[in-house]
Structure 1
Amino acid sequence: MTAESRPTTRLPRPLPPTWLMAAALVAVAGNLRTAITSVPPLLDAISTDLGLSNAAAGALTTLPVLCMGLFAPVASTIAHRLGAVAAILAAVSCIVVGTASRYFGDDVVTLYVGTFVAGVGIAVAGTLLPRLVKTFFPPERTGLVTGLYMFAMMGGAALASAVSAPLADRLGSWQGSLASWTILVLVGLLAWAPFTLRANPHHTPGEEGRGRLPWRNPTAWLVAGYLALQSWSFYSAVTWLPPTYIELGWNRSAAGYLGAAFAGSQVLSGLLGPLLSDRTTDLRRLLFPSAVLGIIGCLAIWGMPETAPWVWVVVLGLGQGSAFSLALVLLVRYALTPSASGRLTGMAFLFSYGVASVGPLAMGYVRDVTGGLSPVWVVLAAITVVQAVVVVRMRPDLRRVA
């Protein structure tokens, strides 16, 4: 065979610098909670305008969480066909469409369909990000990168909670406020697009086969159970914290700022938790204090909500932020390969978010039945106690997902 007749092999394009990959990942992560946390400060206004019950209004945060469970396994299939990096680009595009459609939220069907589409995008991107962290970054930096995208995710959540109500006042409608977050999602889309061109499937080992979810692995079930309990508490708190204080007589802007303090404290602990995880082999040393902070925060909001509300929400946020960021570390640490991490994430998200999606709706039902939100915080404290019990079993020598 002559040189001219030999088939040419297309070499992979060189990857961007590590810092640039981290920046693109952070730009995407900043949009993974805004569609959720922008709703609670406006929940009472949405309910009034559309005639929704508290349970139906809670479904506006339940729906994205349900999507995060149902579509987590689908993320691996999409990554198998497109490549994980391109799959995230498609996911961010879904978030753009779903968020922008909220401008037409005076139609109930459009509001819920748009929320569903955004939820699908959040599910796919959120499932694949831990896999890409394990793929593109060295093991000694996975905690740092996980902390950075947690910082962005919770920072975006805090920003959305803080300015959602003031934006509604400025724009004259809650529809305009919810849809305005499309601008931030477009920033993430533009940051990720060049990375997609450079990081082709040759750079993401393990995409040649989808593999089965690790349903028979006891470690995977332990992680999924922990994440289910933490997510139930987290998304219920995100949904009903601002309405709790509106019920106590606060205006919606002030309650939104309180929600921002809750999310903002998660930025700090969400960054610190993974950083500390790089320095310890037994994550129980970090997971257990996180659960204790969550219990204290819930009980304080129940028993003395107006004594020191800013302190209570910060305590609760510190516990929730570190608990969730460390769960993302578990998805990397308890997997042997990037592909295994993707399967573990898919299985854990399917189970945990499927369970946790009931949380905001169920807590809304508690409000409908009892006539107030105070009992919700007792329930969330009890769930966090069970979460602490699960943490005790998370030994560092558990069998990894292969």
Structure 2
Amino acid sequence: MKRQQPLGGVGILCLLWLTGLYLRIPVLVAPPLSPRISADLGLGQAATGALTTLPVLMLAVGAVLGSLVVARLGPRNAVVAGLALAAAASCARGAAPPVAVLYAATALTGLGIAVMQPAMAALADAWCPAIVALAVGVYMNGMYCGEFASAGLTQLWVLPAAGGDWRLALVFWSLPAAGIIAALYLPRRGAARSAGRAVAAWPDWRSATMWRLGLLSSATSVLFMGTNAYMADIVGSRGDALQQALFWFNISQIFASLIMIAAVRRLVMRRLPLIATSLVSTAAGALMLVFGGAGALVAAFILGMATAMQLTLIVMAAPYLAAAGEAGRMTAGIFVIGYSIAFIVPLLGGLLAQATGTPWLAMLPMIVYAAATFPLALTLRLHRRPDTAGD
């Protein structure tokens, strides 16, 4: 007698969505807490920005580790390992001072997410082979909802509930991960597809397509992560409301991902959407500096939408471009390239702002870099592997 699956197709997608929440929650809870952390521990602007940019560096350093873990343990166990590490380390940040504990736990948080990211792409491919782009879109929507919840709701709800204690706020965001870890062992699908399969672990560094997608993703991450990291200083210097800016910047990503899910067949593996999102995100970043007040909020909303759509398009493309079963390998290479640069450029922006005493200059290197990558979108060639031509 055939055993009944604990979760059906909709249940699988819901579980992927819940797991996707933790691809960003542990990182982007830092910006709304940064004023309190900075005041409590006496951190400067660049040191405070590192609470967001340091995990980005670990996303790059640990992406290949994620690919290796997927090859050794399989996608589900790799996701579980990464999620457990990210949640526990994020919670441990509250043990600071000493400041070294804060940064060590922050680095481990990023490492856990770095393992999760290629593993999630591989898990979507294993659990939902017939609708892999939709599955990627669903967990990416979860990721963007996590961005909104952590960055947009922390000051509004979580800090008041924690009595203004940033340490307790970190604990609050970490606890639900335990339930998600348990739920990840409910599905049994995909086991037969991955059992006994030899999967290459290291990214193919000779792949020109992987490099182009990685560089395009770096521009997206530079703009999004950098803007989140320095939002408090940029809007605070002009008297704008930090809470409103973070709210609209991060909720825009949810709207963008819903559009991606609804129009997935029309947008995935198409060059024109990548060209459009690359151009719009760069322009919106520049306009965010030009305008204040409501104009800056509109520009931030557009910037959030464009960066979300571009990153989703890139991650959706990986399972179609990679060899069968090697979506994690392709995604890992893209993230190594993308997040390495996404750490360096915002850090340079923070140092520039600190040296000049002009907070908004933190955005300038990010905008210039994003503009420099735009020609890559114009010349990109995307070719599906034969067995995905009908998806």
So what's the TM-score if we normalise by structure 2?
0.90
Displacement of 1:169:
4.2
String of CA shifts for 1:293-317, please: whole Å, max 9, x gaps: 2123212211112252321111111
Pairwise CA RMSD: 2.4
For residues 76 and 296 of structure 1, do their structure 2 counterparts lie closer, same or farther at Cα, with a shift above 3 Å needed? Answer: closer
1:154 aligns with 2:144: yes
Q: After TM superposition, give the deviation of residue 379 of structure 1 in Å.
A: 2.8
Counterpart of 2:140 in 1: which secondary structure? Answer: helix
Paired residue secondary structure (1:194): coil
Measured in 2, the distance between the counterparts of 1:258 and 1:104 equals: 29
For the pair 1:237 / 2:251, whether they are aligned, the reply is no
Q: Tell me the CA shift for residue 270 of structure 1.
A: 2.2
Distance 1:69 1:338 in 2: 22
Flag the 1:272–1:78 CA change in 2: closer, same or farther, 3 A. Answer: same
Deviation at 1:206, TM superposition (A): 7.3
Q: How does 1:109-258 map onto structure 2 within 5 Å?
A: 109-139=100-130, 141-166=131-156, 167-170=158-161, 171-195=163-187, 198-199=188-189, 201-204=191-194, 207-250=197-240, 254-258=241-245
Change (3 A) 1:205 1:230: farther
1:52-80 deviation digits (Å, cap 9, x = unpaired):
22212121112211111111111222223
The structure 1 residue matched to 2:286, chosen from 294, 299, 306, is: 299
Q: Is the 8 A contact 2:203 2:330 kept in 1?
A: yes
3-state secondary structure, aligned to 2:22: coil
Residue 88 in 1 paired to residue 74 in 2?
Answer: no
**Structure 1 residues 208-240: Cα deviation after superposition (integer angstroms, max 9, x where no partner):** 333442111211211122122221222111211
The residue number in structure 2 matching 1:4 is: none
1:172/1:45 CA distance change after superposition, 3 Å: closer
Deviation of 1:328 (Å): 0.6
Which residues of 2 match residues 247-326 of structure 1 at below 5 A? 247-250=237-240, 254-273=241-260, 275-280=262-267, 283-326=270-313
Structure 2 CA distance, aligned partners of 1:61 and 1:41?
11
- For 2:268 and 2:151, locate their aligned partners in 1 and report how far apart those are by CA, in whole Å: 35
The structure having more radius of gyration, on CA atoms, is 1
- Alignment of 1:40 onto 2:26: no
- C-alpha deviations, 1:161-194, integer Å up to 9, x for none? 1222243344232222222201232342232233
> Could you report, residue by residue, the CA deviation over 1:22-49 in whole angstroms, capped at 9, with x for unpaired residues?
1211111011111111111222332222
For 1:59, the aligned partner's letter is: A
Cα gap change, 1:357 to 1:203, in 2 (>3 Å): same
Q: In 2, Cα distance between the equivalents of 1:210 and 1:303?
A: 47
**Cα shift at 1:364:** 1.4
Aligned partner of 2:99 in structure 1 is: 108
Q: Does the 8 Å contact 1:12/1:202 carry over to 2?
A: no
1:348 partnered with 2:334: yes
Structure 2: unaligned runs, 5 residues or longer: 387-391
Does the CA contact (< 8 Å) of 2:54 and 2:107 recur in 1? Answer: yes
Matches of 1:33 and 1:122, distance apart in 2: 8
Partners of 1:12 and 1:203 within 8 A in 2? no
Q: Taking structure 1 as reference, are residues 280 and 65 closer, same or farther at Cα in structure 2, changes over 3 Å only?
A: closer
For 2:287 and 2:37, locate their aligned partners in 1 and report how far apart those are by CA, in whole Å: 28
Hey, what does 2:348 align to over in structure 1? Answer: 362
Structure 1 position 261, deviation (Å): 1.4
Using a 3 Å threshold, how does the CA distance of structure 1 residues 210 and 241 change in structure 2: closer, same or farther?
A: same
Structure 1: stretches of 5+ with no match in the other structure: 1-10
2:133–2:268 CA contact under 8 A, matched in 1: no
Decide whether the 8 Å contact of 2:24 with 2:146 is kept in 1: yes
Task: Tell me: CA distance 1:130–1:116, structure 2 relative to 1, closer, same or farther (3 Å).
Answer: same
Amino acid of the structure 2 residue aligned with 1:83 = G
Is this contact kept in 1: 2:213–2:314, CA < 8 A?
A: yes
Structure 2: which amino acid aligns with 1:183? L
Tell me if the contact between 2:351 and 2:362 (Cα under 8 Å) persists in the aligned partners.
Answer: no
Using the TM superposition, give the Cα deviation of residue 282 of structure 1 relative to its aligned residue in structure 2, in angstroms: 5.4
Q: Deviations over 1:261-311 (max 9, x none)?
A: 111111111232354341257522211221222123212211112252321
Paired residues, what number?
383
